[in-house]
Structure 1
Amino acid sequence: MTDAQTQTALNALRIDRSAAPLKRRRRLRWLIPAALLFAVLVLLGVSVARRALTVRVAEVREPLPGEQQTELSASGYVDSRRRSVIAPMIAGQLVEVAVEEGEPVEQGQVIARLDDRDARVVLDRVEAEVRAAEARLAASRAQGFNAERTTERTRTLARQGAVSRAQLLDVETAGRAALEALNLARAQLVVARRVLEGARLQLSHTVVRAPFDGTVARKLADEGAVLAPAALSGTNLGGIVELVDLTALEVEAEVSEEQLSRIHADQPALIFLDAFPKRAFAGRAALEALNLARAQLVVARRVLEGARLQLSHTVVRAPFDGT
């Protein structure tokens, strides 16, 4: 082998150092975006890991009785057929309220008392007037008895000629006047006794009693309030408490007119109360008159059988059976 061939072979085996920087630059060009992408993925993974997981919980229960065959479902409120704002029959200042909200009361139980000082003064004066009328009546009776005896004696003397006719007439006139005075005293005593009854009645009105068995739903006034004689419609003027009868509960549900044909009177209904979600109360529908202001009908006013609640205006659902 000649020297020229040997040199050519050696040059072929020599490493070209000029191509190395170009390969490095190509390698770095792909490595930097890959590193950035990896960093972004790591940040996303950390942020997802820190977030709270959202879990949806669904309640699974068996259908309540009557829900399988429901003709119509309506919402409404529980109310009482007997509801009254208790107010005094006379004006006065409230000095005592003997009940609290939610407290059951019996018929005739004292609910409140008004200041009775003026009523007692009037009663004492009228009692004195009655005693005076009784005394006047007693005096008139004595005068009448005396006038009657004088008239009989004068008539006897007149028949004997002992007294003149004019004297007899004067005595008889005095007798008739005594009789009229006796009648007047009797009438005055009757009037005085009637006034006494009125004074006693006014005194009794200072004590406010429950007109029926029920529960105090609202307390409308406290001690010191000056009350009007009676409650006005739509206001609490003069009212002390609101009393409801929780043994006569009913449901008032609203049903649109297009659904009304699906309900008839005495149709069975199940009533579910928000306060007692696991209990079903039996009831029956009772249709009422059309309310033109809202173009809806009020349905299902009926006593809840076996339901004794402690609150009124409870939200209810009332499914109506298809039977």
Structure 2
Amino acid sequence: MNDKSELLQQLKIDRNQAPVAAGIKFWQLILVVVLCVSVSIWLTLKFALVPASQTPQISNSKTQVVTSAGTTQVNSSAPSPKVNKSLDNNSILNSSGYITARRMATVSSEVMGLITEVNVEEGMEVEQGQILARLDDAIAKVNYDYSVAQIAVLQARRKSIVANLDEAKSNYQRVLNNSYSSDADRTRTFAAQQSLLANLESAEADLLLAKIEVRRQQERLDDHTIRAPFGGVVTQKNAQPGEIVAPSSAGGGFTRTGICTIVDMSSLEIEVDVNESFIGRVYPGQKVEATLDAYPDWTIPASVIATIPTADRAKATVQVRIKIELNDARILPDMGVKVGFLKD
């Protein structure tokens, strides 16, 4: 029994005993912070700051390469890319623009019709007057043949009137010269002669009108054959056989307003926008060096054609036309180009 009492006494908590301090002391926290800062400074000084003498240097001098056989080969460093510095050294003004064509046309027909034949493809060179396409001309041919037949009818009518007129003239002379014809006979034959003369003039006028109609129908028939207005290169083919072409849009998914687009490559020039603050440095005939974005190492000689006498209010620029002094197949419409206006 006493043993049990002693055990219970041991399990009791003494409320009067002083509590044991727990946690990290303030001075310990300060010590940890100082140690962390010291380690950081040491690492920075050792690894982050590399002496200038240990930094790798890139040299343009020759380098030695050891091959697998143990021999040493001397290879020169790769040459630096060529940079066209003429635009910076000799120019007084630099600008950029695009290659444009002064002669460019989307060829269409003057009449609406069904396309039966297209004879061009993109990149094809054509000459002036070359047949590009044909339209269905069946009705136009019928109208032309009809107008030609009308001329034949009117020519036969004129021959008949001429024959009757010759007879009327003979009758009038016979009546006028004999002594037994009355005044009524003379008047009647004279009136018949004058009537035939009027019919002959009418027939000749109708014949002239018929010839004009033949030319009109011939023009309408020729309109069904589409020809190149000038020589150049086909850049776009816009229609195929079986589609309908019209001078203006007539609606529908198979109606085209043009057969193809032709560009005269000899009419290419450069158009650039120059800031209006520097337009005074540009004048007609001024020498220009142009560089295509596609061929940055190729300098193209050029000269100023004219300054367009109007300014763009939104961009505060003035457009300048520049003539290309050479013809080259590498120069294409809508290419980007940089130009430098040279000093005198």
With the shorter chain as reference, the TM-score category is 0.7 to 0.9
Q: Distance in 2 between matches of 1:277 and 1:62?
A: 8
2:105 matches 1:105: no
Give the superposition deviation at 1:64.
4.8
Which residue of 2 is the match for residue 272 of structure 1? 291
Identity over aligned pairs, percent: 28
Seen in structure 2, the aligned counterparts of structure 1 residues 81 and 191 have a Cα distance that, compared at 3 Å, is: same
Q: Distance in 2 between matches of 1:317 and 1:139?
A: 78
**Which of these residues, 80, 98, 111, is aligned with residue 77 of structure 1?**
98
8 Å Cα contact 1:217-1:311 kept in structure 2: no
Q: Distance in 1 between matches of 2:229 and 2:248?
A: 15
Which residue of 2 is the match for residue 167 of structure 1? 185
8 Å Cα contact 1:89-1:230 kept in structure 2: no
Seen in structure 2, the aligned counterparts of structure 1 residues 136 and 80 have a Cα distance that, compared at 3 Å, is: same
Seen in structure 2, the aligned counterparts of structure 1 residues 240 and 313 have a Cα distance that, compared at 3 Å, is: same
Q: Distance in 2 between matches of 1:62 and 1:85?
A: 40
Which residue of 1 is the match for residue 107 of structure 2? 86
2:336 matches 1:315: yes
Give the superposition deviation at 1:231.
8.7
8 Å Cα contact 1:281-1:307 kept in structure 2: no
Give the superposition deviation at 1:221.
2.3
Q: Secondary structure at the match of 1:258?
A: coil
Alignment of 1:237-252 (within 5 A): 238-252=257-271
Q: Distance in 2 between matches of 1:246 and 1:228?
A: 27
Q: Secondary structure at the match of 2:285?
A: coil
**Which of these residues, 223, 226, 238, is aligned with residue 208 of structure 1?**
226
Give the superposition deviation at 1:208.
1.1
2:203 matches 1:182: no
8 Å Cα contact 2:87-2:339 kept in structure 1: no
| Structure with more of its chain in helix, by fraction | 1
8 Å Cα contact 1:217-1:312 kept in structure 2: no
8 Å Cα contact 1:144-1:179 kept in structure 2: yes
Question: Which amino acid is the alignment partner of residue 289 of structure 2?
Answer: L
Which residue of 2 is the match for residue 142 of structure 1? 163
Listed one character per residue, the Cα deviations across residues 143-191 of structure 1 (whole Å, up to 9, x for unaligned) are 111111111111122xx1x121112111110111011111111111111
2:327 matches 1:306: yes
Q: Distance in 2 between matches of 1:293 and 1:98?
A: 45
Unmatched tracts of structure 1, length 5 or more = 1-56
Question: Which amino acid is the alignment partner of residue 81 of structure 2?
Answer: V
Q: Distance in 2 between matches of 1:144 and 1:299?
A: 73
Q: Distance in 1 between matches of 2:275 and 2:83?
A: 29
Q: Distance in 1 between matches of 2:310 and 2:213?
A: 50
Which residue of 1 is the match for residue 176 of structure 2? 155
Which residue of 2 is the match for residue 260 of structure 1? 279
- Count of residue pairs brought into register by the alignment: 261
Question: Which amino acid is the alignment partner of residue 307 of structure 2?
Answer: L
8 Å Cα contact 2:232-2:262 kept in structure 1: yes
The CA RMSD measured in Å over matched residues stands at 2.3
8 Å Cα contact 1:76-1:251 kept in structure 2: yes
Which residue of 1 is the match for residue 215 of structure 2? 197
Unmatched tracts of structure 2, length 5 or more = 1-77
Give the superposition deviation at 1:129.
0.5
| Greater mean alpha carbon deviation, residues 132-141 or residues 57-66 | 57-66
**Which of these residues, 287, 292, 312, is aligned with residue 312 of structure 2?**
292
Listed one character per residue, the Cα deviations across residues 50-77 of structure 1 (whole Å, up to 9, x for unaligned) are xxxxxxx996324354442222221111
Q: Distance in 1 between matches of 2:325 and 2:223?
A: 35
Give the superposition deviation at 1:275.
2.9
Structure with more relative contact order (C-alpha pairs < 8 Å, separation 6 or more): 1
8 Å Cα contact 2:115-2:136 kept in structure 1: yes
Question: Which amino acid is the alignment partner of residue 211 of structure 1?
Answer: P
Which residue of 2 is the match for residue 219 of structure 1? 237
**Which of these residues, 119, 142, 152, is aligned with residue 121 of structure 1?**
142
Q: Secondary structure at the match of 1:84?
A: strand
Question: Which amino acid is the alignment partner of residue 167 of structure 2?
Answer: N
Give the superposition deviation at 1:248.
1.7
